[in-house]
Amino acid sequence: MVDRANKPKHIPVSPSTPSPQAIISNGNDRVTATLPSGEFVEVLLHGATIVSWKSANGNENLFVSSKAHLDGSKAVRGGIPIVFPVFGPPPRNHATSGLPQHGLARTSHWEYLGKTSSESSTLPTSGGDSSVKLDFGLSWQMIEEEDLREHWREDFGLTYSVTLSTEGLETSLQVTNVGKRTWEFQVLLHTYLRINDISNGVIIQGLEATPFTDKVAYAAEQEATKHQWKPHKQFPDPPERTEPSMDVLTINFETDRIYHIAHDGPIRVLEKESPRFEIVRDMLGDVVVWNPWEKKAAGMSDMGEGEWRNFVCVEAGSVSSWTKLESGETWEAGQRIRAFL
């Protein structure tokens, strides 16, 4: 046998790497998932509402009120509730007019469909699986409240996917018309982003030069003119869109705006001029920015004292118009959020 000087050495076999864990807990009312690197997400089956998303260092990125109802008795104040099939109070004489505000998805019991995980690298030092996707489903037949089923008798199927990765959190919603007739809907991901103190200066970038509807200004105008004579109208005029501004949005007062965005660029949230979050949207042309501020928050029974300081809602959605879905069609959209703490 010839003894070669440069014969190959034994190839080391790397130990098996840990995989993402998904657990159904607390009486089968929620699903949690953890990555080997430490990222964590928790989703209630009530509303398929994400109530916790933690970075690898343990920092919580979502706000949930200390008085939020997590027992399924009402919609959760915080996290990421799903708004469907109507945004806000339903309009009169519309197919959704009998539904509660923000529709039925956020107060219904969803089914956990399972998890899948993916691996970004096969290198021994990669840490193994880098993401985990949790899927949840809801259909018209699953709506437990008969009153809701009667008020919106459209045969729909929803699949909600929550993907936790080392890069952030991704949520996507697939809407399918499994019935025989066309219907229309609105959708919004009502994201409560956790911040330290909104009064210290929170800036939203990426909304410049974008027309918006200012619901706070509209409400103040309606209040100021409520005793003035007006021509009789069956329905009040909707709020008008405000001319876009080139300035970034600084949250230092009650804010409730709907931005109608033509571009698909990222939305950034800064606290004390430092990046805190970045949101990238897919097929969601509207962004709602909301904080009730002190006076209005004091009248919310499910908001703890002073907690209005600890969040800003930056909500990707499709709410400025209605999306029509014909029989057999499927519509899908979503968002990806990165946290910088």
* Beta strand pairing call for 212-214 and 255-260: antiparallel
As a whole number of angstroms, the distance between CA 241 and CA 292 comes to 20
Q: Are 300 and 290 contacting, i.e. CB atoms less than 8 angstroms apart?
A: no
- Residue 328 sits at φ, ψ, to 5 deg, of 85, -10
Query: If you compute the radius of gyration of the chain from its CA atoms, what whole number of angstroms results?
Result: 23
Measure the CA–CA gap between 14 and 5, rounded to whole angstroms: 26
- Contact assessment for residue 260 and residue 300, using Cβ atoms and an 8 Å cutoff: no
Distance CA 169, CA 51 (A): 13
**Structure token pair of residue 336:** 């990806």
The DSSP bridge partners found for residue 23 are 32
Q: List the catalytic residue out of 170, 254, 271, 315.
A: 315
Distance separating alpha carbons of residues 277 and 312, to the nearest angstrom: 11
The one catalytic residue among 190, 254, 271, 307: 190
78, 152, 134, 76: which is closest to 107 by C-alpha? Answer: 76
At residue 111, the 3 state secondary structure works out as strand
DSSP H helices in 205-288:
215-224
Cα–Cα distances in angstroms (integers) from residue 239 to residues 154, 211, 217, 257, in the given order = 29, 12, 9, 11
Question: φ and ψ at 308, to 5 degrees?
Answer: -60, -20
Q: Reply yes or no on whether 190 is catalytic.
A: yes
Query: What is the separation, in whole angstroms, between the first and last Cα of the chain?
Result: 60
Residue given tokens 């706070």 in the structure block: 216
Q: Which residues are catalytic?
A: 190, 315
